[in-house]
Amino acid sequence: MARTAGSHSETTGPRVQEAALRLFARQGFAAVSMRQIAAEVGVQAGALYNYTPDKQSLLFDLMRGHMDALLAERAARGAGGDAVSRLEEFTRFHIRFHLARPDAVFVSYMELRNLSPENFAVIEGLRRSYEDELEGILRDGVAAGQFDVADTKIATLAVIAMLTGVTTWYREAGRLSVTEVETIYWDMVRKAVAA
């Protein structure tokens, strides 16, 4: 299929997103210029506006894409089993998912304040619904006498903070595999909420 010279819409769009994600993660949204993103992609700055109406939308689309992927993967998993096994599955999933996309995690946690108020509300809602799943597991476990936590909401946030923290130190070239890291954190989570 012949194509007009200089036309690369099928590849440039994703490349803009990838370049923006990588640069936002390393330098922060506000510190990255559209020219810098364009240079990374290999086009001129003006060409970026074929793929995003503005810089804010670029950030929002990255964050929404990340949250959508997170929730889609959760929805694809059965919620069967007792609270303990569901908590283990959630813990291992959270670590595996987050370690697989460190740039998206970094941007999603650090750039919330650079979202417009409307965009912030959307991302905040998605984040909340992810937390709600974990809180549901903890609540069920407390009701079943398997867990003992003073406050399920605080325990939810404490567990997520602990698990997400893994992204600040884990390196692929390090001494531990992802599965080993999952096991170490699951051991701490299990004990922290145990009855």
Q: Which residues bind a second copy (CB under 8 A)?
A: 26-31, 110, 113-114, 149-151, 154-155, 157-162, 164-166, 168-169, 181, 183-185, 187-189, 191-194
The HSE-up count of residue 89 (CA atoms within 13 Å, CB side) is: 15
Q: From the list a second copy, DNA, none, which binds 128 (C-beta under 5 to 8 Å, kind-based)?
A: none
* Tokens read off for 22: 């990588």
Closest by CA to 55, choosing from 81, 29, 88, is: 29
**Residue 9 near DNA by CB under 7 A:** yes
Q: Least distance (Å) from a second copy to the CB of residue 31? A: 4
**Residue 192 near DNA by CB under 7 A:** no
47-86 residues in contact with DNA (CB under 7 A) are 47, 49-51, 53-56
Q: Which is nearer to DNA, 51 or 185 (CB)?
A: 51
**Residue 132 near DNA by CB under 7 A:** no
Element (H, E) at 110: helix 102-110
* Tokens read off for 62: 């990255």
**Residue 113 near DNA by CB under 7 A:** no
DSSP readout, 41-104?
HTS-GGGGGGT-SSHHHHHHHHHHHHHHHHHHHHHTS---S-HHHHHHHHHHHHHHHHHH-HHH
Q: Least distance (Å) from DNA to the CB of residue 12? A: 4
Whole-angstrom Cα distance, residue 176 to residue 180?
6
Q: Which is nearer to a second copy, 71 or 112 (CB)?
A: 112
Whole-angstrom Cα distance, residue 36 to residue 52?
15
Q: From the list DNA, a second copy, none, which binds 154 (C-beta under 5 to 8 Å, kind-based)?
A: a second copy
Q: Least distance (Å) from a second copy to the CB of residue 178? A: 13
Distances in Å between the Cα of 105 and the Cα atoms of 14, 94, 95, 127 are 18, 11, 11, 12
21-50 residues in contact with DNA (CB under 7 A) are 32-36, 38, 42-47, 49-50
| Interface with DNA (CB under 7 A) | 4, 6-9, 12, 32-36, 38, 42-47, 49-51, 53-56
